[in-house]
Amino acid sequence: MDEEQSERAAPPAPRHLRWGLWVLALAALLGPLVTDLAAASVLTGSLDVRYFSNYEVDQYGNQVPAPPPDVTFWQRWSVLAFALRFDRAFLGAAAVVTALAFAHLAGRGRWPLTRGVRWTAVGGAVVSALSTGAASVVLLLAQDRPPEETGYYGSQSPLVDRWAPLAANAVVVVLGVLAAVVLLGPAAPAPAPDPAPDPAPDTAPDPAPDPAPDTVPAAGPAEPGAGDDAQDEGTVRAPGSAPAPEPGTDPAPDPVPAGFPTPSEEEYAWYRRPTT
């Protein structure tokens, strides 16, 4: 399942949550962009009158700003880096992008971030990382120049003037890169449901089969006077059993085991005679 199909299959997030995610993503993108535009305006001389002009008294006794002297790039950069602290905007954007990356991982297939939100946040992370990297390079170059050229007199402590700003800029770059990698990757899958437990096996023994009787009685007794047909129909022989003797005839004698004398027909008839 590709990314588009997974977004369509996911349930829609609540409206207030979607709007909140879009606001965060736009803030992460527009914040660095507006900061870069403002920095470019300052570097071209928009704040020279405020920070570098001299005031003169005119003929009416009013103080008017005189045209500023030749202001260098490094002096304007000092205003940005140490007076306006413009790098804080990049740190805030990196924090917002990191929060969106955590939300992307925590969605777990329930309410994943849409592609628009993720790509907007990635754009903000890229702009913040690039701007912070450029600011770090310019800061290192500015620290190596004399204060008369840059117009900034630091605290004479490398830890305060150089390494602390560089550490903050490194945090912004690392967070932006990691958040962009997370946002461009797939969301974490939803946890699989626990499998249903198998039913306990039936340990009861199978019932023993009923022995097949030799003769199965009929459903009801035969009507009196039905004759031989009724007697024959009243008894059902089991498969493999001997046929019943016909009425009025003597049954065949049972076979005599070996070692016993066999009676004659007269003796057999004598023992089979009816008794009174």
pLDDT in tens, 130-154: 999 998 888 888 888 887 777 777 7
Q: Which residues contact 250 (CB under 8 A, 6 or more apart)?
A: 272
| Per-residue pLDDT tens digits for 87-102 | 888 989 999 999 999 9
**Rounded-to-integer distance, Cα 91 and Cα 165, Å:** 11
- pTM of this prediction? 0.60
**Rounded-to-integer distance, Cα 129 and Cα 170, Å:** 9
Residue 156 pLDDT = 73
Place of tokens 């002009």: 53
**Residue 43: what residue type?**
L
Place of tokens 């890229």: 126
Read off the pLDDT of each residue in 108-123 and give the average, rounded to a whole number.
Answer: 83
Of the candidates 127, 147, 149, 116, which has an alpha carbon nearest to the alpha carbon of residue 37? 127
| Per-residue pLDDT tens digits for 54-109 | 878 878 888 887 777 788 888 888 888 877 788 888 989 999 999 999 988 887 55
**Rounded-to-integer distance, Cα 159 and Cα 57, Å:** 43
**Rounded-to-integer distance, Cα 30 and Cα 20, Å:** 15
Read off the pLDDT of each residue in 243-251 and give the average, rounded to a whole number.
Answer: 59
